């Protein structure tokens, strides 16, 4: 602190205590427990603090002393920007923020590096009261450290990843995807491609050969398995389906993936995707090629983000904002009954203009 051109040591609780002839704990009570002091004494302490340049107790230290920092740690993938650019993530976090702000709690967005040792450091250093695992693979080593911290956890992907002690808010991913697959086969489609993000960690968008039962990422795996369930039940061999890996859940990756389904002699008549963002990229690819969605090629998404309705996209509607809000409420105000901390939310199939009958009319 500078006074009159000279530097002096910053005032502390003890500085004020010495100035007024009271104990250090009395000065501390003026900030943390004002009900313990008379109004006159508290006013004298605050006046002295302002005069001496005391900024108030360190909020971090105060929080650590009481064992609570009023913050939820939201674990994302290594790409923190998804919290601001992915439409579904934005809606989910809006709901989570609504629940948190109603309880005077903040959100700390945490990017989780793929490097597991770096991930452990991030989790270990996070000063939070609870963790919300938004988009985290259940095999990441940092999750073991989260378990040992003993703070509340809510997950939104694999309901069995943390056992019965963790809260869960999610949907039946596989059953929802099956409804999309059933819709497509009922329309007579047999030449089908799937564009899915993170089928493999190659970082390359292209056709892959992968066993749906062995896919590493839970949400992608469940949605692809749901599609397969519908196709196999309809008598369509899985080997006939073209599986395309999208390196990321980005619109341009959806367009790049669609090229592998459209630029071939046996062009797919239907392209299913694991997100609306990828589906919008597929629609971009159709537009460039002069193809009409729903007439020349059917396209489906997943999530029902705002742009899905704008573009007439057939998709699965899931309650994104509500899902985030419920996750926050389970962390900050959990019900006593453990069964009520495990919530599977309803979804619905929304049929719009991007799906239509197989244009070749060649049914088996």
pLDDT at 325: 98
Question: How far is it, in rounded angstroms, from Cα 224 to Cα 327?
Answer: 25
pTM reported for the whole predicted model: 0.82
Q: What CA dihedral angle connects 127, 133, 138 and 140, to 10 degrees?
A: -30
Task: Name the residue with tokens 């956890």.
Answer: 153
Task: Name the residue with tokens 């742009």.
Answer: 307
Residues of the chain scoring pLDDT < 70: 1-10, 55-67, 78, 361-364
- The residues, any chain, with a CB within 8 Å of residue 47's CB and separated by 6 or more, are none
CA 93 → CA 107, 220, 306, distances in Å? Answer: 9, 20, 15
pLDDT at 10: 63
pLDDT at 87: 95
Q: Which residues pair with 74 in a beta bridge?
A: 109, 132
CB 194, CB 241: distance < 8 Å: yes
For 66, the enclosing helix (H) or strand (E) is helix 59-66
**Is 22 in a helix, a strand, or coil?**
coil
Instruction: Give residue-wise pLDDT tens across range 226-264.
Output: 999 999 999 999 999 999 999 999 999 999 999 999 999
Domains, the chain: 2-57 (1.10.260.40), 66-172+320-344 (3.40.50.2300), 173-319 (3.40.50.2300)
pLDDT at 53: 80
Phi and psi (nearest 5°) for 160?
-100, 5
Measure the N-to-C terminal CA separation of the chain; round to a whole number of Å: 84
pLDDT at 9: 52
- The residues, any chain, with a CB within 8 Å of residue 204's CB and separated by 6 or more, are 245, 247
For the chain, what is the mean pLDDT? 89
By CB neighbour count within 10 A (0-12 exposed, 13-18 middle, 19+ buried), where does 52 fall? middle
Helix axes 13-20, 24-32, angle to 10 degrees: 110
pLDDT at 6: 41
CA 109 → CA 169, 274, 348, distances in Å? Answer: 19, 24, 30
């Amino acid at each position: 602190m500078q006074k009159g051109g000279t530097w002096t040591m910053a005032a502390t609780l003890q500085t004020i205590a010495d100035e007024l002839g009271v104990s250090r704990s009395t000065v501390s009570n003026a900030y943390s427990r004002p009900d313990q002091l008379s109004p006159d004494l508290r006013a004298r302490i605050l006046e002295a603090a302002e005069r001496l340049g005391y900024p108030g107790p360190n909020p971090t230290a105060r929080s650590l002393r009481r064992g609570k920092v009023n913050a939820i740690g939201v674990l994302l993938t290594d790409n923190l920007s998804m919290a601001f650019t992915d439409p579904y993530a934005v809606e989910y976090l809006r709901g989570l923020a609504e629940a948190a702000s109603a309880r005077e709690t903040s959100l700390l967005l945490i990017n989780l590096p793929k490097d597991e040792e770096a991930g452990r450091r991030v989790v270990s250093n996070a000063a939070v009261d609870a963790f919300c695992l938004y988009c985290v693979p259940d095999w990441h080593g940092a999750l073991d450290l989260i378990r040992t911290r003993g703070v509340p956890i809510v997950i939104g992907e694999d309901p069995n990843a943390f056992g019965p002690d963790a809260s869960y808010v999610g949907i039946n991913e596989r059953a929802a995807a099956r409804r999309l697959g059933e819709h497509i086969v009922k329309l007579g489609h047999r030449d089908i491609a799937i564009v899915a993000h993170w089928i493999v960690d190659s970082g390359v968008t292209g056709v892959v050969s992968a066993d749906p039962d062995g896919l590493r990422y839970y949400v992608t795996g469940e949605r692809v398995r749901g599609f397969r369930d519908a196709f196999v039940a309809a008598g369509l061999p899985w080997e006939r389906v073209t599986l395309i890996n999208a390196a990321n859940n980005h619109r341009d990756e959806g367009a790049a993936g669609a090229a592998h389904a459209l630029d071939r002699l046996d062009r797919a008549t239907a392209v299913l995707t694991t997100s609306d963002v990828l589906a919008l990229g597929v629609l971009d690819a159709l537009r460039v090629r002069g193809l009409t969605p729903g007439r020349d090629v059917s396209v489906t998404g997943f999530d029902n983000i705002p742009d899905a309705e704008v573009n007439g996209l057939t998709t699965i509607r899931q309650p994104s904002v509500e899902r985030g809000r419920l996750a926050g409420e389970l962390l900050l105000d959990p019900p006593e009954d453990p069964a009520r901390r495990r919530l599977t939310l309803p979804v619905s199939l929304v049929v719009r203009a991007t799906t239509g009958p197989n244009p070749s009319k060649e049914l088996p």
